[in-house]
Amino acid sequence: MKSIVIQQPNALAIEERPLPSPAAGEVRVKVKLAGICGSDSHIYRGHNPFARYPRVIGHEFFGVIDAVGEGVDTSRLGQRVSVDPVISCGHCYPCSVGKPNVCTSLVVLGVHRDGGFSEYAVVPAKNAWVIPDAISDKHAVMVEPFTIAANVTGHACPTEQDVALIYGAGPMGLVTVQALKGVYKVKQVIVVDRIDERLEMAQRCGADWVINNGNQSLQAVLEEKGIKPTLIIDAACHPSILQEAVNLASPGGRIVLMGFSSDPSQVAQQGITGKELSIFSSRLNANKFPVVIDWLEKGLIDPDKLITHTFEYQHVKDAIELFEKDQRQCCKVLLTFSE
């Protein structure tokens, strides 16, 4: 089989590898589609501290089960599945309180273990979620990105009365816009970014108001309108955002951080405690695949509004370079592995 391998930073190759056999409790998935994420690019460029090389990247993928290991019912053969990349132990403290996404022995497919940018991938059977026939292949491969939004909103518990502010109109910001508007019916969703074309994508995803903060002060614009957001989500992930978010937030508001920067954020405690703000962080997803599959079945979200490009997997280098360089027109890029 052919696999896309990052041999070391900035060295990508399509290698011929032996067809894997599923071990006990595992299934083998014939991959049909996979999505490119920023973390795939970071591993390629050597900017992901968790990755070990060589590595088959890819943690957003969909396909069909074509082999099962010992202990897995053969009725699973032929099932269309999306794969949850989060592999957890099930018994440590985080797992016991419903946070397998921060398991003390966390393994993420495509990061710590070979992932889905391959013609075939072996994964735990419990991580292969069945996709109903009514959901198309290209929507099925988008389940994982939307689980990020499901995890964020699971922390923040949005209501129709919220005024939400989202920093960043990249893929993670856009899936969150769709969740807030389509699932939770939040009355006002504001998106801030410095790229006009990305802000247009945010409007197509349901944003009520977009602001380019590259040429104007976000704080001044919101103060002029008398708006104090009750829910702020940082999907831009810059260390400077936290203090501004604290300044902008309504008393009693919530802030959710999605960033992974190792640079420090400076923030005054008084702004947090004076307003009794709640600050959450969100990593990956905690058992959110069935949640997103339900959203898709009910038509509450629309992945088509994010998918901008599709490449055959043989052109993965071109696909990643486009993803990295064209932030104006490119949002979600899919790779095709089989029909």
Burial degree of 116 (CB within 10 A; 0-12, 13-18, 19+) = buried
254 pLDDT exceeds 90?
A: yes
The per-residue pLDDT for range 322-335, each reduced to its tens digit, is: 999 999 999 999 99
C-alpha count within 13 angstroms, C-beta hemisphere, residue 212: 10
> How many other C-beta atoms can be found within 10 angstroms of the C-beta atom of residue 154?
19
pTM as predicted:
0.97
- Return d(Cα 328, Cα 309) in angstroms, integer: 13
- The separation between CA 169 and the C-alpha centre of its own chain, rounded to angstroms, equals 13
Residue with tokens 């099925």: 140
Nearest to 245 by CA among 165, 162, 157, 159: 165
Residue 324: partners with Cβ closer than 8 Å, 6 or more residues away:
41
- pLDDT grade for 260, boundaries at 50, 70 and 90: confident
pLDDT at 112: 96
Distance of CA 63 to the CA centre of its chain: 18
Measuring CA to CA, which residue among 83, 114, 302, 285 is closest to residue 201?
302
Among the listed ranges 47-56, 106-115, 124-133, which one has the minimum average pLDDT value? 47-56
Q: What does pLDDT average to over the chain? A: 97
pLDDT confidence bin for 150, thresholds 50/70/90: very high
For residue 78, what pLDDT band results from cuts at 50, 70 and 90? very high
Span 280-303, average pLDDT:
98
User: What average pLDDT does range 146-156 have in this prediction?
Assistant: 98
- φ, ψ (nearest 5 deg) of residue 94: -55, -45
Q: What is the mean pLDDT of residues 203-207?
A: 98
DSSP 29: E
Instruction: Kindly tell me the sign of the dihedral angle through the C-alpha atoms of 280, 234, 259, 11.
Output: positive
Q: What percent of the chain has pLDDT over 70?
A: 100
Residue 339, pLDDT > 90, answer no
Q: How much is the average pLDDT of 140-146?
A: 98
